[in-house]
Amino acid sequence: MFYVLPVLIFIGFIFFTATENPPSEIGSDPKYVGVNSCVGACHKTESQGSQLSIWESSKHANAFKVLQTDEANKIAEGKGFTTPAAETPECLKCHTTGKTVDASAFEETFDITQGVQCESCHGAGSEYKKLSIMKDKQKSIDNGLQVHSEGEAFCTGCHNSESPTFKGFNYAEMWDKIKHPKPASE
| CA of residue 33 relative to chain centroid, distance | 12
Q: How far is the CB of 16 from ligand HEC (least distance, A)?
A: 27
Calculate ∠ Cα 74-77-80, nearest 5°. Answer: 155
The answer to whether 59 contacts ligand HEC (rule: CB under 6 A) is yes
Letter string b/e over residues 92-105, b meaning 16 or more CB atoms within 10 A of that residue's CB: bebbbbbeeeeeeb
The answer to whether 86 contacts ligand HEC (rule: CB under 6 A) is no
Q: Are 25 and 142 in contact (CB under 8 A)?
A: yes
The type of residue at 153 is: A
Q: How far is the CB of 103 from ligand HEC (least distance, A)?
A: 18
Q: Are 64 and 95 in contact (CB under 8 A)?
A: yes
Going residue by residue from 164 to 183, which x/- string records binding to ligand HEC, judged by CB under 6 A? Answer: xxxx------xx-xx-xxx-
- Determine the size of the site formed for ligand HEC (CB under 6 A): 55
The answer to whether 60 contacts ligand HEC (rule: CB under 6 A) is yes
Count CA within 13 A, CB hemisphere, residue 177.
Answer: 10
Q: How far is the CB of 161 from ligand HEC (least distance, A)?
A: 8
Q: Is 151 left (phi over 0), alpha (psi -120 to 50) or beta?
A: left
The answer to whether 141 contacts ligand HEC (rule: CB under 6 A) is no
Q: Count of CB atoms within 10 A of residue 12's CB?
A: 10
Question: Which of 26, 174 has the CB closer to ligand HEC?
Answer: 174
Going residue by residue from 8 to 47, which x/- string records binding to ligand HEC, judged by CB under 6 A? Answer: ---------------------------x--xx---x----
Which parts of this chain interact with ligand HEC (CB under 6 A)?
35, 38-39, 43, 49, 51-52, 55, 59-60, 62-63, 66-67, 71-72, 75-76, 79, 81, 85, 88, 90-91, 93-95, 116-118, 120-122, 147-148, 151, 154-155, 157-160, 162-167, 174-175, 177-178, 180-182
